[in-house]
Structure 1
């Protein structure tokens, strides 16, 4: 069989002596040759690249390298399965110059299934942490890199999406505070639909999926739909954001209790499940997330419930990120300072002795 390669882009996987023997025939046929290394680059191939005869990726194979190629020539047996799977998915021919047996790609259904294995057709609810992309868990980042589809919230570490291959489908679920948001039922539909296509779906959420993240609703919806689902815990902003500002939410000899509450509904709202008078009677730390808009009413409710207006308080906005800023005040001043300082979500409110100025630190 003879292939017409004149003017055709060809990818050679591996820059070994085997590739040295393959490349001249491709060039003689008029192919436009690109080579990616497989752990080594021979001096001859280096010279061809410097002379402009070939293009050279000084990195190992990635799926994106196949884009637009008419043929892939495999010269690295260690990458046989991955190359075969990705090429088969795109309908690109593979010439295995290593002489090995063809990789079995029949069972592969997800785009990344050569690496994800039995994750194809499943959903992972991944907690992205408090904002800093470095604070996602190792497991969360591993699964994100295997994803075929990522359904991301606004508070997830979105900079990590730039590391994904260009063909990964990214769906913005928004969830902006008091702004636009994808309906929760629609999110459930998307997760189930993509998983039924045999794809591996990562639901990337801010903080921890099960700490005011509606993760359990999504878990239950997948179980009802018959979709295998798992949750990957994340670092919650309720603890990490104060820590980034030098505030320990517990402190030996100062507090033995910690309450984490959602402030998305104001005190007195008929749908609120928070016992604000009971919180006002506590001596320990109260951390409020999603409470910027209702902060003045929350502060007033805690004081009415018995908390001393002189109790130290702190606000940390966009914690753990480059835009982090924090302010210290008292509970009695908290409502006014939120308004005067123009604090915007996301921000965490901390009420208790741990927020005192002598514990200041962080950014």
Structure 2
């Protein structure tokens, strides 16, 4: 961090802010106010450029985004950075795509900060699941089609195999949302089919949902692995009968390549 940018004084708080799925109009009033007045913003790679444009030009911008196999900072380093910034007296926003407590490691960061005496405020955001589903006109629940929703991560830590309750996830009456599942979607589909979910179950893949770069495609469990094979992440997958309710006029596009 450049010399002279830190100012000594009060400690914290650190604001864990949900940036939502991408469209800045979907920020909460509280989130937008904090972003526009922040002195230091620590952000992930899933935060849309339109939202980063709201950060004051003289604020510190610290990109700690993680991509598969490419980590600018490890999680322990991010935790320590947040403590250092809070102790400097800066107004700190930790900005995360979607909601900070939904596959955003917000809970880990909040726990670490509190252990070090730092006050934490959590500002929830519209989840990527809710935002992407709404953007393509798919309800996550619908009478007669889905009476519940389950969120899972398709990301394998340290290259290990996904260890999920496949039998429980293969419920035709539930909508299944797969975050960070692009690299594993073929295997996920195979495991769900093996557990009893029909190959004909509709699947939607949404890329950069709610932003001008949004693209989505419709497939089935039997074809999604092959259909999405050439796409680049991040992609959110919606699996279930509700996907069949996507409006016929909602234009689909092949996902952008990696």
- Interval of TM-score (by shorter of Structure 1 and Structure 2): 0.7 to 0.9
Partner residue of 2:209 out of 303, 312, 319: 319
1:307 aligned onto 2:160? no
The answer to whether the Cα contact below 8 Å between 1:127 and 1:234 also exists between their aligned partners in 2 is yes
Alignment partner, residue 203 of structure 1: 94
| 1:349 counterpart residue number | 237
Judge conservation of contact 2:138–2:245 (CA < 8 Å) in 1: no
**TM-score under structure 1 normalisation?**
0.63
Shift of 1:109: 6.8
Deviation at 1:287, TM superposition (A): 1.0
SS at structure 2 position matched to 1:163: coil
Rg larger in 1 or in 2?
Answer: 1
Report how far residue 357 of structure 1 moved.
Answer: 5.8
Q: Give the one of 26, 30, 38 matched to 1:135.
A: 26
Contact 1:124 1:201 in 2 (8 A): yes
Query: In structure 1, how many angstroms separate the alpha carbons of the residues matched to 2:17 and 2:147?
Result: 30
Q: Please give the per-residue CA displacement for 1:60-96, whole angstroms capped at 9, x wherever unaligned.
A: xxxxxxxxxxxxxxxxxxxxxxxxxxxxxxxxxxxxx
Q: Report deviation, 1:248.
A: 1.1
Alignment of 1:234-313 (within 5 A): 234-265=125-156, 269=160, 272-313=162-203
CA contact (8 A) 1:246 1:361 kept: no
Asked if the contact 1:245–1:361 (Cα under 8 Å) also holds between the matched residues in 2, the reply is no
Count residues in correspondence.
246
* Partner secondary structure for residue 196 of structure 2: coil
Is the aligned partner of 1:330 residue 2:220? yes
User: Does 1:216 pair with 2:107?
Assistant: yes
Residues 290-340 of structure 1 show CA distances to partners (whole Å, capped at 9, x for unaligned) of 00110000000000000010111111111111111111111111111111x
Between 1 and 2, higher relative CO (CA 8 Å, sep ≥ 6) is seen in: 2
Q: 1:149 to 1:214 in 2, by over 3 A?
A: same
Alpha-carbon contact 1:317-1:343 (below 8 Å) kept: no
Aligned CA RMSD, in angstroms, stands at: 2.4
CA shift for structure 1 position 172 = 0.6
Q: Which residue does the alignment assign to 1:191?
A: 82
CA distance change for structure 1 residues 139 and 333 in 2, over 3 Å: closer, same or farther?
Answer: same
Change (3 A) 1:132 1:146: same
Structure 2: how far apart are the matches of 1:362 and 1:129?
A: 22
Asked if the contact 1:148/1:168 (under 8 Å) is kept, the reply is yes
Cα deviations by residue, 1:85-134 (Å, 9 ceiling, x for unpaired): xxxxxxxxxxxxxxxxxxxxxxx977xxxxxxx9x731000000001122
- Counterpart CA distance in 2 for 1:168 and 1:254 is 47
Which has the higher mean CA deviation after the structures are superposed, 301-310 or 148-157? 148-157
The answer (yes or no) to whether the contact 2:14–2:92 under 8 Å persists in 1 is yes
Matches of 1:233 and 1:200, distance apart in 2: 18
In 2: Cα distance, 1:238 partner to 1:164 partner: 25
- Give the equivalent residue in structure 2 for 1:167: 58
* Residue deviations 1:169-225 (CA, integer Å, cap 9, x gap): 110112224433421111111111111111111000000000000000000010011
Unaligned runs of 5+ in 2: 1-6, 252-258
d(CA) in 2 for partners of 1:353, 1:292: 20
**Aligned mates of 2:207, 2:236 — CA distance in 1:** 6
Instruction: Select which of 27, 32, 38 maps to 1:147.
Output: 38
SS of aligned partner of 1:294: helix
